Amino acid sequence: MAFRFEDLQVWQKALDLGELINQLTKGFPKDELFILTSQIKRAADSVVLNIAEGSTGQTKAVFKQFLRYALGSGIEVVSCLFIAKKRGYIKEDKFKDLYNEYEVLVKMITNLRNSLD
């Protein structure tokens, strides 16, 4: 693989979850298109993009900072999931599945960040 981030399991998981979020939002109401739909998709994409950008031969300190950004975006996705559930856009079982997957992802990001010490 040409780029370091492609080999990172955390990046691969974030990419897969980003696609799940993209598919999920197709069922959101049209009046949320520029609000919640946009917000959750941007946050999910931000996780993937920050992991990739931080891994590109930067110093460990810079990579850790990008991982902090990715972590924050992952938490943002979870908050958006709560909003979507509260507004009735997703059912409890779908919420729990994605919540659990993002919990795993956040732990992976945290562990990678801590390994850079």
Condensed to tens digits (0 to 9), the pLDDT of residues 50-96 reads 999 999 977 999 999 999 999 999 999 999 999 999 999 999 999 99
Say whether domain 7-115 belongs to CATH 1.20.1440.60.
yes
Length of the chain in terms of residues written: 117
Burial bucket for residue 70 (CB in 10 Å: 0-12, 13-18, 19+) = buried
The pLDDT of residue 2: 86
Residue 1 confidence (pLDDT) above 70: no
**Taking the CB of residue 10, how many other CB atoms lie within 10 A of it?**
24
Domain positions in the chain are 7-115
Taking the C-alpha atoms of residue 19 and residue 34, their distance in angstroms, rounded to an integer, is 18
